[in-house]
A and B are shown apart, each in its own frame.
Chain A
Amino acid sequence: MLSRRDFLQVSLAAGAIYGAGAPWGRLAAQQKLSQADLLAFEPLGNVTLLHITDIHAQLVPLYFREPSINIGVGEASGLPPHITGAAFLRKFGIAAGSASAYALTNQDFSALAGAYGRVGGVDRIATLLKSVRAARPDNTLFLDGGDTWQGSYTSYRSQGADMVQVMNALGTDAMTAHWEFTYGTDRVQELIEQIKFPFLAQNVRDTEWEEPVFDGTAFFERSGVKIAVVGQAFPYTPVANPRYKIPTWSFGIREEAVQAQVDDARAKGAELIVLLSHNGFDVDRKLAGRVTGIDVILTGHTHDALPEAVKVGKTLLIASGSHGKFLSRLDLDVRNGEVKGYRYKLIPVLSDVITPDPEIAALVKEVRAPHQEELKRVLGTTGSLLYRRGNFNGTLDDLICQALLEQRDAQIALSPGFRWGASLLPGQDITVEDIHNATSITYPAAYRNEMTGEFLKTVLEDVADNLFNPDPYYQQGGDMVRVGGLGYTIDPSKTIGKRISNMTSLPDGKPIEPGKTYTVAGWASVNEATEGPAIWDVVQSHVTRHKTVNVAPNNAVKVVGI
């Protein structure tokens, strides 16, 4: 239900035209912003970079709530993207209740989602792409930052083939990768054969000889400017995801190798160097200060959406969000091998006001057609907002943890801190597609194990350090592991081993004892031969059984020290 405050916010947004009680949804969004407004851009210079990243195989419009908590540590403390909610609005001068506030923050999310509608959809993105290309036919480069082939029912069923078709049709110029690798060595190679553009990953080596597996750099020419695009895959793929899927490939940040690629590209006459990166924002911010000669880093992985470029020395960092919610446009004036000026716009893909491109809409329909019935099968309804993104438990994860506890008869549930997963509004049906949007991985077995209290603490400390290590090069870019049946206190400012305290079992509130054994259910184990039903089956059973789910905000995780 809308609270009175939510209602007022929407009234502020839409009421100027309609007054309170006017129809919301599509109409309100259309009155507020038009496709022309979204595309409005005074062209600058001779090169236009278009960037999309982490769309997680989302072909059709959805809801995606930005985080309310996204803590920065060390030098990143208090800097974008580690600003959320009202502070974010203040920092960037965005009016509460506006389309930008809806797109960029969690503020009044359910109410504004009602007003502005769904975001993303590759047919809408295609319309934006085609419009920019029509105006800038000789200047435009469209780059995909990866996490493109995974995250939906259809991508799982087609093992990434649907996304390859779509990205080919969109006229992608180059990509890099992360979750793509979870299809395994053979399938990745097969799909690379099918893409009509370079797959760039300078930081992947074969484990035997340390030789490059993929091309690192691709060269393009746009209106006489020679452009080098260097691809950087997610450095910790074999750590964060199952190494057994890609046993012969080794990753890593490989900072010296990035520098070598940049120097080599300059030597070959490149006037503009772009790092198409899946490092994560804080890693790229550090890298930008240590590697010289990169003009632009198109960041990815950490799903941050920033309405302005961040400048480190001479390097511009762009953060284009996730799930197809944004398309970035960066115009550059490149002369004598130097960027003389730039103009940037993070375009929110507000699906209700963008006319779908007919060609891509038809393609999406075609790839979804065989699965349509299953995709739309309704399992139940949610009474509350379901979302994942944020450093700690989101309501969607709480639902998954509840499903694990009940369906797998466990005392404690663990659910991975993935940053992908669409949001569902209060009152929305929960379909098979929705559950896959939150769980679709190639290692879905929901395990049931026994763990000691001591080991549980080790797990929490380990994941916390991957998130809150003050040196970004030691961060993996996932959020904190989600927990069910367990409460804890965390101090992100401490060091590994000292961040987690007050672990209690729920609902009884008894302290977790180091020596005691607990039954733990979880999913997304990176260990080979993990056994159990697929996580989406566990969640589907749970929703089917309860019909209407209501998830209260999680108060079991307490954050201190910041």
Chain B
Amino acid sequence: MKEITRRDAILLAVGLTAAATLPLPALAAESAMDELKKFTGGADARESGRITLDMPEIAENGNTVPLTVSVDSPMTSEDYVKRVMIVASGNPRPGVATFHFSPRSGVAEAATRMRLAKTQDVIAVAEMSDGSFHMAKAAVKVTIGGCGG
């Protein structure tokens, strides 16, 4: 698996305590669904509106597409975001990154840049401290370009 380089993953999060690329090389056959199932342990992830996944509708450069993810959470020791996983459903290797948080993170927000092979949905799934999972999707178009105007 191609490691996310430092340039690809400049993390701008306030109080972000840890960020990790996927620890294990993903197998070529692994689909986005497999990645998500592994993350949630098979639990349902709801599109609850608590996650904001900010991405361009059309990528200016598919090789480096900016992404900001934030989760609405008080981030107290009773109620906080544990992890957020980013999956690019149409990439040969769908797993992009997992961001780890703790109550001391203050806010659950992270930004990075990623490569997108083609037009696809990018999915963010958050694991909360109460064991629930939340999800958000963004459709990003990768286009040949030209002809506008």
Contact = CB atoms under 8 A, between A and B. Distances in A.
Given A239-B58, A253-B57, A256-B54, A476 B147 contact: yes
A43 B36 CA distance: 61
The 5 lowest CB-CB distance pairs between A and B, nearest first, are A240-B148, A478-B148, A476-B148, A238-B60, A478-B147
B147 A524 contact: yes
A256 B60 CA distance: 19
Interface in A62-116: none
Nearest to B113: A207
Most buried by B among A239, A250, A420: A239
Nearest to A463: B147
A301 B148 CA distance: 9
B149 A419 contact: yes
Interface stretch (B25-33, B37-45, B124-132, B138-146): B138-146
Contacts of B54: 256
13 contacts: A210-B66, A237-B148, A238-B61, A239-B58, A239-B143, A239-B148, A243-B145, A250-B60, A251-B60, A416-B146, A463-B144, A476-B148, A526-B146
B91 interface: no
Interface in B53-83: 54, 56-61, 66
Interface string A250-268: 1111001000000000000
Given A210-B66, A243-B61, A466 B148 contact: yes
A387 interface: no
Given A210-B66, A474-B141, A496-B119, A240 B60 contact: no
A526 B61 CA distance: 12
Nearest to A237: B148
Q: How large is the interface on A (under 10, 10 to 19, 20 to 34, 35 or more residues)?
A: 35 or more
Contacts of B58: 236, 239, 474, 476
A417 B146 CA distance: 9
A193 B111 CA distance: 34
Contact of B147 (A147, A420, A466): A466
Given A210-B66, A459-B144, A462-B143, A179 B60 contact: no
Given A236-B148, A466-B143, 20 more contacts: A234-B148, A237-B148, A239-B58, A239-B60, A239-B145, A240-B145, A240-B146, A240-B148, A241-B149, A243-B145, A416-B149, A462-B143, A462-B144, A466-B147, A466-B148, A469-B141, A474-B57, A474-B58, A477-B148, A479-B147
A234 to B, nearest CB: 8
Chain A contact residues, majority secondary structure? loop
A301 B149 contact: yes
A353 interface: no
Nearest to A150: B149
Interface of A: 147, 178-179, 210, 234, 236-241, 243, 250-253, 256, 301, 416-420, 458-459, 462-463, 465-466, 469, 471, 473-474, 476-479, 481, 496, 524-526
A252 B149 contact: no
Contacts of B139: 474
Contacts of A462: 143-144
A241 B60 contact: no
A179 B143 contact: no
A526 B145 CA distance: 7
Interface in B9-40: none
A465 B142 CA distance: 11
A365 B56 CA distance: 44
B89 to A, nearest CB: 16
Contacts of A243: 60-61, 145
Given A210-B66, A236-B58, A474-B57, A420 B141 contact: no
A252 B58 CA distance: 8
Most buried by A among B139, B141, B147, B148: B148
B145 to A, nearest CB: 5
Most buried by B among A240, A416, A417: A240
A496 B141 CA distance: 11
Contacts of A236: 58, 148
Contacts of B147: 240, 416-418, 463, 466, 476, 478-479, 481, 524
A526 B146 CA distance: 6
B113 to A, nearest CB: 10
Nearest to B61: A243
A416 B58 CA distance: 19
Contact of B149 (A147, A238, A463, A525): A147
Contacts of B144: 458-459, 462-463
Contacts of B61: 238, 243
